[in-house]
Amino acid sequence: MNKLYGSLILMLLCLSVSLPLLAAETDEEAKELGFWVELQTVSSRLPAKAIVWYERELTENFGLYAFVWKEADGYQEYIVGPTWKPVEELQLGCGIGRESTREEGRGARWSCFADATIGKLNLSGAAENGRISGPWKKITVTYAVTNLLEPGFIYETGFGNGLILKLNEQK
């Protein structure tokens, strides 16, 4: 139960940083708010997992991101860090946090990501490492056929290569 409280505290910390900034903004100055949840189960050999991602622009070029990753086998991690947009089409971020398992205890974990868009092509990648579970990476390449539909390719540690289909919200 303490692990759940730690994850909730991290999310509350992120909200406490962002809510005063939200209140201070006018409609024309409103910054993007990013929040998504991913639930995944692939087969009986791999545990189900849930990821909660929160992202907040603080200025035009800088922001904050945080996420919590929880798996059914007891693994969990949480990471928080800054983001930077040197140009509109590129976002970079690096963060640090903790990971834990029932068997091996707790340890530090770091994460870095990059997301680039060139026309209708999107390339994103993330890399993590930590004392408990070691390195992990994920790379996706998608092409926006329409505003709603982005087919592409994906590589993720533990899963290998495959096809991906992203369905976007209608804007």
Q: What is the token pair recorded at 48?
A: 């189900």
pLDDT tens sequence across 82-112: 999 999 999 999 999 999 988 888 999 999 9
- pLDDT over 70 percentage in the chain: 75
| Closest to 54 measured CA to CA, from 44, 64, 45, 66 | 66
Contacts of 160-163 with CB under 8 Å at 24 or more apart are none
pLDDT tens sequence across 47-88: 688 889 999 999 999 999 999 999 888 899 999 999 999 999
Q: Which residue has the higher pLDDT, 46 or 7?
A: 46
Whether the predicted pLDDT of 42 surpasses 90? no
> Is this model's pTM higher than 0.85 or not?
no
pLDDT value of residue 21:
44
Per-residue pLDDT averaged across 148-155, rounded? Answer: 94
Q: DSSP assignment of 75-103, as one string?
A: -EEEEEEEEEEEETTEEEEEEEEEEEETT
pLDDT tens sequence across 119-151: 999 999 999 999 899 999 999 999 999 988 999
